[in-house]
Structure 1
Amino acid sequence: MKFSQRLAYYLGGLLLGTIIVVYFLQAKAESRNVSFCYLPNCRVLQDLRKKPLHYSPESEATLKENWVTLQDIKNCMQYGDVDFSTSNEPFKGGKIYFIKGKNTKGEPITVSMVNYSDKVLLNEIKKD
């Protein structure tokens, strides 16, 4: 058998095997509502989203000013960027994270959250 025929058989089998594996992994992920979140930014945001959110007095006062809404905070927790150069530091019994995002008007904001083992505290919201 020539090299080109062996290469064709190899590539055909590799393609068929890849399609089968992707099909089964995708079906498994859809049936269990699993997300593949391996990057540090994604893992931190996912951990913050799955815990109950509590508010500090400073954040409640900022939310009452009406330039930022709770939906903006949720969007930051979903699509924001964690600033790891200043985050992941011990703070009041938890770890503080600074998340950069935007409000509904498109203005950049920074949200600081304290991650405890059982809850997340919305510490402060600032305009950049």
Structure 2
Amino acid sequence: MKFYQRLAYYLFGCTIGAIFVYYMIGGKDVGCSYFPNARVLKDIRRKPAVYSDSARMLMQVLKIDTADVRKIMTYGDVDFGRSNKPTQGGKLYIVEGRNKQNEPIEVAVVNGSEKVLIKSFTKLK
């Protein structure tokens, strides 16, 4: 069998396999969160968020809105050196991100089993 015939068989098999995989997984909401940062942020985003009273006041003072918090919880970076510490109600995570004005913001979040408590905000320099 010549090379171009083997290549044709190979490409035909790959095409059939790709079509099969597309129909098996195509309609499902499948995502991959392999890295620790992505897993923690995904776990935080899937639970309902509750703001503490001090966090609500800091949101007004620092001019942060819920869209900024969502952006930080989607694209932020978890500081694992200061995070993953057990506290009352869950584990404390420090998430660093940027708001709409591109200013660095740090959010302290307590990740519980049923809900997420957003404790405080800090504007970084």
| TM-score (normalizing by structure 2) | 0.83
Percent identity, please: 45
When the two chains are superposed, the root-mean-square deviation of aligned CA atoms in Å is 1.9
Q: Secondary structure at the match of 1:65?
A: helix
Q: Which residue of 2 aligns with 1:7?
A: 7
Q: Which residue of 1 aligns with 2:55?
A: 59
Q: Secondary structure at the match of 2:19?
A: helix
Question: Pairwise mapping of residues 1-128 of structure 1 onto structure 2 (< 5 A)?
Answer: 1-26=1-26, 28-29=27-28, 34-39=29-34, 40-128=36-124
Q: Is the 8 A contact 2:109 2:117 kept in 1?
A: yes
Structure 1, residues 69-107: CA drift from partner, whole Å, max 9, x if none? 122112111222222232212122411111111111110
How many angstroms apart in 2 are the aligned matches of 1:55 and 1:126?
Answer: 14
Amino acid across the alignment from 1:53: A
Task: Report runs of 4+ in structure 1 exceeding 4 Å deviation.
Answer: none
Unaligned runs of 5+ in 2: none
How many angstroms apart in 2 are the aligned matches of 1:87 and 1:77?
Answer: 15
How many angstroms apart in 2 are the aligned matches of 1:103 and 1:38?
Answer: 24
How many angstroms apart in 2 are the aligned matches of 1:81 and 1:20?
Answer: 37
How many angstroms apart in 1 are the aligned matches of 2:112 and 2:59?
Answer: 22
Unaligned runs of 5+ in 1: none
Provide the aligned length of Structure 1 versus Structure 2: 123
Amino acid across the alignment from 1:25: I
How many angstroms apart in 2 are the aligned matches of 1:60 and 1:111?
Answer: 12
